Amino acid sequence: MNIRKDDTVQVLTGDDKGRTGRVLRVLVEKGKVVVEGMNRVYKHMKPSRRNPQGGRLSKEMPVDVSNVALFCPNCRRGVRVARRINEDGSKDRACKKCGRSLGIIRKASAATRE
């Protein structure tokens, strides 16, 4: 999975199509991500001791990872991602369109630096 927590992504389908947001949580085993401000639903709460007022609670629900794309600040849109190994042995993600680095996946190990 190319998307990680705190990445900026663009939603490709659904009611929030075209909007960008920050990833709050990644659910790897389900193949879903929770994006800040996207796919909001209302949970109706009965009045209780903990919540005496009751009412509607708005929260974000998971979106399938295939429906979001990593946002490239250079291209200013969601892009496909390539993985590449740099000269120093570190591994990073890159935009397939412009080639700009979108973040390091793995730092260079001591064995590859020597």
Note the pLDDT tens digit of each residue in 72-104. 999 999 999 999 998 888 999 999 999 898 888
CATH at residue 84: 2.30.30.30
C-alpha span between 63 and 68 (Å, rounded): 8
Query: Which pLDDT does position 106 carry in this prediction?
Result: 84
Query: Which pLDDT does position 31 carry in this prediction?
Result: 96
Q: What is the model's pTM? A: 0.82
C-alpha span between 70 and 102 (Å, rounded): 9
C-alpha dist (Å) from residue 51 to 41, 46, 75, 94, 96: 19, 8, 45, 46, 48
36 part of a folded domain: yes
Total tally of structural domains belonging to the chain: 1
50 part of a folded domain: no
Task: For residue 20, give its domain range.
Answer: 8-45+56-113
83 part of a folded domain: yes
pLDDT, tens only, 25-74: 999 999 999 999 999 999 999 999 988 998 998 999 999 999 999 999 99
